[in-house]
Every structure is written in C-alpha cells, then in structure tokens.
C-alpha cells in the first residue's frame, strides 16, 4: 500500500482554500464578468451545478482508473476527490432544500 504524501495533501488543501476565497460571488469583491456587474441567479446556479457535475465525473474517472490499476493514481488522491465531490453534492442539495423551502413559504403568503 502506498504511503500518503502529507506534504502534497496539505499543499492541495491550501490551494483549494485559496481558490475558494477567490471564487466569484464569495466575499465582498466585485463579481467576475465586468465592471461591477453581478451575474443573475440562474447563471450562478447553472455554473454551480456544472461544477458539482465535473467534480463527480472527475472522482468517478479517478476511481475507475485506480480500480483498473493505472500508474500514478493512488488511493489517497481518489479518496480526496471523492470527498470533494460528496461535499459539493451535499452543499448543492442543501441549497436546493433551502430554495424549495423559501418557495413554499412565499407561495403560502396571503395576498
């Protein structure tokens, strides 16, 4: 069994944290796409779903490569990618649940 390279894992986690802080729509900085333009909700939601999909496909491809014995694919990388995909899916599900709840609340408001 291959040893886990903790230094590489730590560097990857730090780079992901830095990337998350630079992500559009997070924090107080202007959104990407122009001078102060904010993207509409639909495009942000579509981009987020696409990102979750790509994370899941990447994790699945790595797992398949590991199962087939591809060189250079270790279990730690497969597990990290699978956990990233799982976390992204759970976050997306929570957003969906909150949106449905807000929609139901608005629909139940008296006119």
Condensed to tens digits (0 to 9), the pLDDT of residues 85-107 reads 999 999 999 999 999 999 999 99
* Residues of the chain by 3-state class (helix, strand, coil), percent to 5: 70, 0, 30
Query: Does residue 69 sit within a domain?
Result: yes
Give the predicted TM-score (pTM) of the model: 0.62
- For residue 71, give its domain range: 37-111
pLDDT in tens, 30-87: 445 555 678 788 888 888 899 999 999 999 999 999 999 999 899 999 999 999 999 9
Task: Give the number of domains in the chain.
Answer: 1
Query: Does residue 53 sit within a domain?
Result: yes
Query: Does residue 46 sit within a domain?
Result: yes
Query: Does residue 28 sit within a domain?
Result: no
Maximum C-alpha span of the chain: 65
CA quadruple 94, 85, 54, 48: dihedral, nearest 10: 20
């Amino acid at each position: 069994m291959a040893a886990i390279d903790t230094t590489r894992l730590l560097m990857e986690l730090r780079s992901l944290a830095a990337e998350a802080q630079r992500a559009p729509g997070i924090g107080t900085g202007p959104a990407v796409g122009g001078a102060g333009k904010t993207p509409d909700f639909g495009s942000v939601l579509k981009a987020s779903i696409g990102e979750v999909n790509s994370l899941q496909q990447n994790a699945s491809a790595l797992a398949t490569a590991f199962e087939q014995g591809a060189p250079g694919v270790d279990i730690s990388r497969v597990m990290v990618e699978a956990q990233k995909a799982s976390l992204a899916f759970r976050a997306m599900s929570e957003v969906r649940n909150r949106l449905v709840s807000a929609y139901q609340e608005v629909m139940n408001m008296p006119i």
